[in-house]
Structure 1
Amino acid sequence: MFELSGTQIGGWINSFLLPLFRIGSMLMVMPIVGTQLVPRRIRLYFAVAFTVAIAPVLPEMPQVDALSVQAILLIAEQIIIGVLLGLVLQMMFHIFVFAGQLISMQMGLGFASLMDPATGVSVPLLGQFLLMLVTLLFLAVNGHLVAFEIMAESFVTLPVGQALDIGHYTVFAGRLSWVIGAALLLALPAVSSLLVINIAFGVMTRAAPQLNIFTIGFPLTLIMGMIIFWASTAEILTHFQTITSEALFLMRSFTQ
């Protein structure tokens, strides 16, 4: 009669569940897949399918008792790694949302907000447009496949059971500063141009106080802002390539 020992069952469980926690936590946080548009059950099925596909080629997992404190610590560590990897991609997308918010506020479109179906929060019009554009570009260049490849390679470069030292968190926290800087650089040309226009309207108001600046200035600022934003989209692909490369490099460096 074919019998299985508790050690064999525990080994099979460890070889599957420990990678599942890292993969599942990343899929729950990363953009596109980890949004409200994808039900949690579908994300869970996708995580299980991904784990089953790569489990046979993964390094040997540590053999620990499923109810021990060591197992709980390993599970928590895998969840932290997966969440941080997904957070990098999430912040990469929000760079463009933040840039769109800055431009919208400067050109007077701050009141024009849309409900983002992915996050369930109100997002300015230009921020939602840039988010949709970046999502399509990310899928077109197979960025999601590169992210999944980095996740699969992380089990080799950062095996389960290898403790994260302070250097991983230091590198990760230090490089997150590029998020705000990249958003400001992305929005700087449009914001600077709109600032010059607003200064010109201020000079006109001082020169001709009888001029109703609100009647003329608001629609003209809106029109000029749309023209400037349209012209600035010519360089959006260059910014996208730079920011995406930096985000994927940060993911890879974190797991090494």
Structure 2
Amino acid sequence: MFEIAALDVSHWVARYIFPFARIAGLLMVMPLIGTRMVPQRIRLLLAITITFVVVPVLPPFIKVDALSLASIIIIAQQILIGIALGFAVELLTQVFVIAGQLIAMQTGLGIATTVDPSQGASVVVVSQWFLFMVSLVFLALNGHLVLIEILIDSFRTIPIGFDGFSVEQWGLLITWSGWMFAAATVIALPAIAALLIVNLAFGVMTRAAPQLNIFALGFPVTMIVGIFIIWINIGEMAVGFHLYMDTLFEFIKKLTVM
């Protein structure tokens, strides 16, 4: 009787440990919650809370001893799945960080840097401003709730077991990484095109009046034009982020049902 009771307890523990691994993997790397600004104890408590709420509605999965080698393999698979889902969302926010860096390099605003508390690295102020904007829009559109809903649905499309993401799914995630750079270029393209026109105008002025000190005049004018372009495009960037977020969730759904 003792052996049977011990095995039942092990299966009960495994039923909570496996979903917890996937949920914790997502919360570890997703935007906002997965940053250094959120203490690890808060993330751990949030993962435990979501696990206890979600487990009763999950479909049954294989019974494995919680202290066996097979259990360790399954836990590693679940952590990788959660990290992959969170990484896909993190790439969306990095689109605007890269776009901010491209704009800052073209406008001369790259000299203004600050420390990003979420990453502990020095970034340009424009990128940090874009990151704050998309983070607030992400929360305003309940993106974090939709992401948790997709995570819960993934337990049905990708059941807990020894099989994790396939090669096709990992390849799709790598393709999504390339999309990040293309999307950042599209966002920064209006500013780059406008500044190209400004530089062409300075080139014409240099040919027409060589005695003018274009280098002393062009730098502040370029910065002012860059700030003006960012100001008139900030609303379109928020709308673009909304569209990109819809694309992200469609991608995650496609990723989890392959």
TM-score (norm 2): 0.94
After the TM superposition, which residues 1-256 of structure 1 pair with which residues of structure 2 at under 5 Å, given as runs?
5-161=5-161, 163=163, 164-256=165-257
Contact 2:107/2:222 (<8 A) preserved: yes
Q: Distance in 1 between the 2:238 and 2:171 partners?
A: 30
Report if the CA contact (8 A) 2:14-2:64 is conserved. Answer: yes
SS of equivalent to 2:41? helix
Q: Distance in 1 between matches of 2:24 and 2:166?
A: 23
Count of residues paired in the alignment: 256
In the alignment, residue 178 of structure 2 is paired with which amino acid? Answer: S
Unaligned runs of 5+ in 2: none
Of 66-75 and 124-133, the range deviating more from structure 2: 66-75
Name the SS for the 2:109 alignment partner: coil
Please identify, of 208-217 and 19-28, the stretch whose mean Cα deviation from structure 2 is larger.
Answer: 208-217
Q: Write the letter of the residue equivalent to 1:69.
A: L
Deviation string, structure 1 residues 177-198 (Cα, Å, up to 9, x no partner):
2111111001100111112211
The 2-side partners of 1:242 and 1:176 are apart by 17
Letter aligned with residue 179 of structure 1: M
5+ residue gaps, structure 1: none
- Give the superposition deviation at 1:2: 10
Paired letter, 1:170: G
How far apart are 1:236 and its partner, in Å? 1.4
Task: Give how far 1:21 is off.
Answer: 0.5
By how many angstroms is 1:174 displaced? 2.4
Contact 1:10 1:63 (8 Å CA) reproduced = no
How big is each residue's C-alpha offset from its partner over 1:11-35, in whole Å with a ceiling of 9 and x where there is no partner?
1111000000000011010010000
What letter matches 1:142 in structure 2? N
The 10-residue stretch of structure 1 (153-162 or 27-36) with the greater mean CA deviation from structure 2: 153-162
Q: CA RMSD in A?
A: 1.7
Which deviates more from structure 2 when the two are superposed, residues 206-215 or residues 34-43?
A: 206-215
2:88·2:173 contact (CA, 8 Å) conserved in 1? Answer: no
How far did 1:79 drift? 0.8
Counterpart of 2:237 in structure 1: which amino acid?
A: I
CA distance, structure 2, for counterparts of residue 165 and residue 145 of structure 1: 26
SS at match of 2:110: coil
Displacement of 1:117 in angstroms is 1.3
Distance 2:82 2:136 in 1: 23
* Cα offset, 1:203, TM superposition: 2.7
Contact 2:24-2:82 within 8 A present in 1 as well: yes
| Cα distance in 1 for residues equivalent to 2:235 and 2:247 | 20
1:209 deviates by: 2.3
Cα–Cα, structure 1 residues 35 and 15, in superposed 2: closer, same or farther, change >3 Å?
same
SS in 2 for 1:70: helix
